[in-house]
């Protein structure tokens, strides 16, 4: 690609990703599957790495999330809520480990804390003298929304800390999500009353947290799992990430029962394969694994880049796909002479005994393959379309998606 064209591609990627982030984080709707967003983001990073002279302070690679809605009062995070860099293969995970060893100038194996990457909403909880005084969404990473009254309705969030030894001021971070069983219950109730059907558990959790009436939030089966501490006055009370999470559990917080500490990067590889195999049997949706250097001293030494810590990585799961026969299709020609897939109905068969749907972010498109149509269900949800598979089969439809 010629340099002017590459520069144009860079600008187009930035505009696309800004738009997708605005719809996802601000409007709470998805316009693109997560897997496609990740691909575009990586392409942006590759161009900027090859041409550092084109770096821009307003590039999506330099920031986290998007601006919060004005409906809630705003909260400024004293410690920014950064995102994590992603890897998608074992080779990339091994490269991550090697980069850390190179930076530390030490080839010794590292201990990693391994946790499921819950598919929910990141939040911050502030405790003063052991009492919950504020809950906030991540927002753009620096400014979030005040959702204190809503988080107080969630039973797994302690209103007052248990035990002793906690600091005068404590900020805890975690993920609020809706377990699959609770998601099924609220959708069953919605169907019986002609109410709103949620696309997937993450969509339901986001919608529940952003209710201005906390009494509505109180009716939703939400949970929160803690993944770290961002602020605590006084000296450190522990020396590792896993020790900190164990302390939070003692103070009354829910911590993932899948948390493990391994003594090498090969232990991370084994953990990833194990949880990938058990993914469908979990009580909640996950879209990957988070690996963190367990030593807090090493975390501090490694530090951060502009948008993510150097000592942590998210190993994403492959996008989920399923094969189906297309039963009916209608096309629509728009004024720009683009042929649109106006409506397509089909049947998707059950993946296995436990899984009743293809998890993720939004049925986006289909294409012909060996006389069949492969439905990209990588990430069903967050948008207007959703996919549910019962014990036998169930119809689904796709509306207003372009035929590529």
End-to-end CA gap in the chain: 23
* DSSP state at residue 234: S
Cα 34 to its chain centre, rounded Å, is 9
Query: Stretch 138-154: mean pLDDT, rounded?
Result: 91
CATH of 3-62, one of 1.10.287.610, 1.20.1270.10, 1.20.1260.10, 1.10.150.120: 1.10.287.610
Counting residues of the chain whose pLDDT is more than 90, the rounded percentage is 45
- Greater confidence (24 vs 391) lies with 24
Per-residue pLDDT of 180-211, as tens digits, reads: 999 999 999 999 998 888 889 999 999 999 88
Which residue, among 348, 241, 213, 382, has the nearest Cα to 302 in the 3D structure?
A: 241
pLDDT classification of 118: cutoffs 50, 70, 90: very high
pLDDT at 93: 98
Q: Which two tokens stand for residue 126?
A: 């502030």
Order of all β-strands in the sheet with 286-293: 86-87, 312-316, 286-293, 112-118, 260-262
Looking at the DSSP assignment, which residues form a beta bridge with residue 210? none
Strands 322-333 and 260-262: unpaired
Is 52 exposed, middle or buried (CB count within 10 Å of its CB: 0-12, 13-18, 19+)? exposed
- CATH T-level assignment (fold) for domain 74-316: D-amino Acid Aminotransferase; Chain A, domain 1 (3.30.470)
Q: What is this structure's pTM?
A: 0.72
CA distances to 153, 228, 262, 311 from 300, in Å: 35, 14, 20, 9
Residue 260 has pLDDT above 50, yes or no: yes
The residue-averaged pLDDT of 307-331 equals 76
Residue 234 has pLDDT above 60, yes or no: no
15: helix, coil or strand?
Answer: helix
Average pLDDT, the chain: 79
Domains of the chain by residue range:
3-62, 74-316, 322-402
What pLDDT was estimated at residue 353? 30
Q: Which residues are catalytic?
A: 117
pLDDT tens track for 332-387: 666 665 555 444 544 443 333 333 344 444 443 443 333 333 344 333 333 333 33
Beta carbons within 8 Å of 298's beta carbon, 6+ residues apart: 104, 110, 311
């Amino acid at each position: 690609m010629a340099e002017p064209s590459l520069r144009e591609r860079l600008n187009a990627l930035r505009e696309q990703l800004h738009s997708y982030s605005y719809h996802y984080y601000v409007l709470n709707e998805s316009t693109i599957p997560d897997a496609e967003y990740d691909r575009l983001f990586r392409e942006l990073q590759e161009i900027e790495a090859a041409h550092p002279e084109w770096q821009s302070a307003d590039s999506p690679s330099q920031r986290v999330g998007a601006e919060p809605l004005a409906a809630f009062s705003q909260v400024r995070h004293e410690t920014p809520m950064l995102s994590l860099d992603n890897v998608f293969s074992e080779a990339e995970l091994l490269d991550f480990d090697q980069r850390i060893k190179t930076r530390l100038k030490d080839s010794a194996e590292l201990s990693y804390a391994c946790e499921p990457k819950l598919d929910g909403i990141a939040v911050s909880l502030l405790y003063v003298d052991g009492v919950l005084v504020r809950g906030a969404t991540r927002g753009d990473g620096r400014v979030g929304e005040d959702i204190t009254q809503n988080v107080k309705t969630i039973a797994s969030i302690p209103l007052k800390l248990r035990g002793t030894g906690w600091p005068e001021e404590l900020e805890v971070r975690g993920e609020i999500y809706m377990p699959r069983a609770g998601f099924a219950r609220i959708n069953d109730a919605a169907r019986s009353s002609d109410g709103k059907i949620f696309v997937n558990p993450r969509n339901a959790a986001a919608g529940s947290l952003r209710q201005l009436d906390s009494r509505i939030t109180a009716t939703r089966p939400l949970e929160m799992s803690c993944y770290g501490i961002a602020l605590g006055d006084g000296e450190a009370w522990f020396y590792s990430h896993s020790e900190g999470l164990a302390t939070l559990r003692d103070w009354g917080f829910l911590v993932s029962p899948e948390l493990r500490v391994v003594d090498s990067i090969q232990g991370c590889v084994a953990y990833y394969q194990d949880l990938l195999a058990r993914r469908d049997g979990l009580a909640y949706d996950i879209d990957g694994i988070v690996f963190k250097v367990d030593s807090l001293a090493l975390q501090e030494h490694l530090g951060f880049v502009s948008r993510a810590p150097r000592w942590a990585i998210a190993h994403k799961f492959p996008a989920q796909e399923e094969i189906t026969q297309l039963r009916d299709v209608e096309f629509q020609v728009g004024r720009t002479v683009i042929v649109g897939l106006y409506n397509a109905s089909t049947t998707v068969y059950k993946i296995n005994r436990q899984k009743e749907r293809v998890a993720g972010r939004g049925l986006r498109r289909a294409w012909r393959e060996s006389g069949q149509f492969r439905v990209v269900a990588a990430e069903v949800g967050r948008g207007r379309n959703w996919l549910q598979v019962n014990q036998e089969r169930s119809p689904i439809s796709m509306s207003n998606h372009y035929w590529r």
